[in-house]
Amino acid sequence: MVKICCIGAGYVGGPTMAVIALKCPSIEVAVVDISVSRITAWNSDQLPIYEPGLDGVVKQCRGKNLFFSTDVEKHVSEADIVFVSVNTPTKTRGLGAGKAADLTYWESAARMIADVSKSDKIVVEKSTVPVKTAEAIEKILTHNSKGIKFQILSNPEFLAEGTAIQDLLKPDRVLIGGRETPEGQKAIQALKDVYAHWVPEDRILTTNLWSAELSKLAANAFLAQRISSVNAMSALCEATGADVTQVSYAVGTDTRIGPKFLNASVGFGGSCFQKDILNLVYICECNGLPEVAEYWKQVIKVNDYQKNRFVNRVVSSMFNTVSNKKIAILGFAFKKDTGDTRETPAIDVCKGLLGDKARLSIYDPQVTEDQIQRDLTMNKFDWDHPIHLQPMSPTTVKQVSMVWDAYSATKDAHGICILTEWDEFKTLDYKKIYDNMQKPAFVFDGRNIVNAEKLREIGFIVYSIGKPLDPWLKDMPAVA
Ligand code: UDX
Ligand code: UDX
Ligand code: ADP
The residues lining ligand 3, judged by C-beta closer than 6 Å to any ligand atom, are 7-13, 32-35, 38, 72, 85-87, 105, 108-109, 127, 271
The model's pLDDT over 431-457, given as tens digits with 9 standing for 90+, comes to: 999 999 999 999 999 999 999 999 999
Whose C-alpha lies nearest to ligand 3, atom 19?
86
Model-level ipTM above the cut of 0.90: yes
Q: How far apart are CA 348 and CA 344, in angstroms?
A: 8
Q: State the distance from the centre of ligand 1 to the C-alpha of 237, rounded, in angstroms.
A: 23
Which ligand places an atom closest to the C-alpha of 257? 2
Position 83 pLDDT exceeds 60: yes
C-alpha of residue 227 to centroid of ligand 2, in Å: 22
Phi, psi of 207 (to 5 degrees): -145, 180
272 assigned to active site = yes
Q: What topology is assigned to 242-473 in CATH?
A: Rossmann fold (3.40.50)
User: Which of 6, 272, 350, 417 is an active site residue?
Assistant: 272
* Residue 1 vs residue 408, higher pLDDT: 408
Phi and psi, residue 226, nearest 5°: -65, -40
The residue among 146, 43, 480 whose CA lies nearest residue 304 is: 480
Query: Residue 295 C-alpha to ligand 2 middle, in angstroms?
Result: 20
Taking the C-alpha atoms of residue 477 and residue 472, their distance in angstroms, rounded to an integer, is 11
Interval between CA 254 and ligand 2 midpoint (Å): 13
Ligand 1 pocket test, candidate residues 273, 347, 420, 448, most atoms within 8 A of CB? 273
Of all ligands present, the nearest one to the C-alpha of 251 is: 2
| Count of C-beta atoms within a 10 Å radius of residue 155 | 23
Give mean pLDDT, residues 62-90: 96
Spell out the domain ranges in the chain.
Answer: 3-199, 242-473
Burial class (CB in 10 A: 0-12, 13-18, 19+), 308: middle
Ligand (nearest to CA of 465): 1
Average pLDDT over residues 279-305: 96
More confident residue, 378 or 344: 344
Residue 472 or residue 381, greater confidence: 472
C-alpha 304 to ligand 3 mean position (Å): 28
| Residue nearest (by alpha carbon) to ligand 1 atom 26 | 268
- Pick the ligand that lies closest to the CA of residue 253: 2
pLDDT in tens, 108-164: 999 999 999 999 999 999 987 888 888 888 999 999 888 899 999 999 999 999 999
pTM of the model: 0.95
pLDDT value at 381 more than 60: yes
CATH 3.40.190.10 fits 3-199, yes or no: no
Q: Alpha-carbon distance 34 to 469, whole Å? A: 51
Q: Ligand 3, closest atom to CA 11?
A: 4
Burial of 423 (0-12, 13-18, 19+ CB in 10 A): exposed
Residue 402: HSE in the Cβ half-sphere, 13 Å Cα cutoff: 16
Residue 165 in this model has a pLDDT that exceeds 70: yes
Query: Which residue's alpha carbon is nearest to atom 3 within ligand 1?
Result: 160
Per-residue pLDDT at 387 exceeds 80: no
Residue minimizing CA distance to atom 31 of ligand 1: 263
434 lines ligand 1 (CB under 6 A): no
Residue 87 Cα to ligand 3 midpoint, Å, equals 5
User: What integer best gives the mean pLDDT of the chain?
Assistant: 94
Residue positions forming the annotated binding site for NAD(+)? 8-13, 33, 38, 86-90, 127-128, 161, 272-275, 342
Q: Could you tell me if the CB of 422 is within 6 A of ligand 1?
A: no
Atom of ligand 1 nearest to the CA of 334: 23
The per-residue pLDDT for range 59-73, each reduced to its tens digit, is 999 999 999 999 999
Question: Do 3-199 and 242-473 fold alike per CATH?
Answer: yes
What whole-number percentage of the chain has pLDDT above 90?
Answer: 86
**Max Cα-Cα span within the chain:** 75
Nearest atom within ligand 1 for CA of residue 267 = 30
Nearest ligand 3 atom to alpha carbon 38: 14
If you measure from the C-alpha of residue 260 to the centroid of ligand 2, how many angstroms do you get, rounded to a whole number? 21
Residues in the chain: 480
